[in-house]
Amino acid sequence: GQSLEQPSEVTAVEGAIVQINCTYQTSGFYGLSWYQQHDGGAPTFLSYNALDGLEETGRFSSFLSRSDSYGYLLLQELQMKDSASYFCVRNMLTFGGGTRLMVKP
Amino acid sequence: DSGVTQTPKHLITATGQRVTLRCSPRSGDLSVYWYQQSLDQGLQFLIQYYNGEERAKGNILERFSAQQFPDLHSELNLSSLELGDSALYFCASSVDSSNEQFFGPGTRLTVL
């Protein structure tokens, strides 16, 4: 969507750390979500940030800075199964274009 | 398995036709959402229903309509189909208008 910007593709090595950034349109903003979607599969919820700061869920963390209209998803200890598309979502309903993450051995 | 079911899984039809996609939400979920995902694209929000009433509307074409029934299942009706309507249509549900949505497996629509 035009109100969200995220990179189209990111490549990383197994075991590494990768950060997927997302900038969003500020007007009327109240929260940023992240979803994962494997090829041919349905999106699955990863995290949600309404307040500034870091939310950690296992190997995945999500960060929000409302003053910068910016958030990111951090994936640690990358595994091959993390190869998927990752979507930031503004206000629960507006999906970004997605970032395709390729994890290489 | 998210608990959300969608039928049919695949649908092939011709331009100008009308189709109905069906979604059953997770048990206890009151909100149903419909999304369209074209090839290699993000998800485009179409419409949300909450407990039978329309709650939010996205970029849904006038040729498309939806409803949520008393048993909370939902149907998305697509009419006067065009080639560009070929896409994956996802239904999602949530307890209320919460931030975590559970997506069904999708219906792949091909318009020839």
Inter-chain residue contact B42 with A93, CB threshold 8 Å: no
Which pLDDT score is estimated for B41?
74
At A2, is the pLDDT very low, low, confident or very high (cuts 50, 70, 90)?
low
CA distances from A92 to A34, A48, A49, B66 (A): 9, 9, 11, 20
pLDDT digits (tens, 9 = 90+) for B6-52: 999 999 999 999 999 999 999 999 999 999 999 867 899 999 999 99
Return the C-alpha torsion angle B43, B49, B51, B54, nearest 10. Answer: 160
Q: What is the mean pLDDT of residues A54-74?
A: 96
Residue A10, pLDDT above cutoff 60: yes
Nearest chain B CA: its distance from A37 CA (Å):
10
Interface of B with A in 18-47 (CB under 8 A): 33, 35, 41-45
The enclosing H or E element of A97 equals: none
Nearest to B100 among A48, A87, A93 (CB): A48
Element (H, E) at A63: strand A60-65
Q: Which two tokens stand for residue A76?
A: 């640690």
Q: Is the pLDDT of residue A22 over 50?
A: yes
Q: Which residue has the higher pLDDT, B98 or B109?
A: B109
- Is the predicted pLDDT of residue A38 greater than 60, yes or no? yes
On whether any CB of chain B is under 8 Å from the CB of A29, the answer is: no
- Cβ <8 Å between A87 and B33: no
Assess A93–B contact: CB distance below 8 Å, yes or no: yes
Nearest residue on chain A to B34, judged by CA atoms?
A93
Write out pLDDT tens, residues B52-95. Answer: 999 999 989 999 999 999 999 999 999 999 999 999 999 999 99
Residue of chain A whose alpha carbon sits nearest to that of B6 = A42
Task: Return the pLDDT at B98.
Answer: 72
Window from A37-41, A87-91, B89-93, B94-98 with minimum mean pLDDT: B94-98
**Confidence band, pLDDT 50/70/90 cuts, at residue A71:** very high
| Mean pLDDT on A59-72 | 97
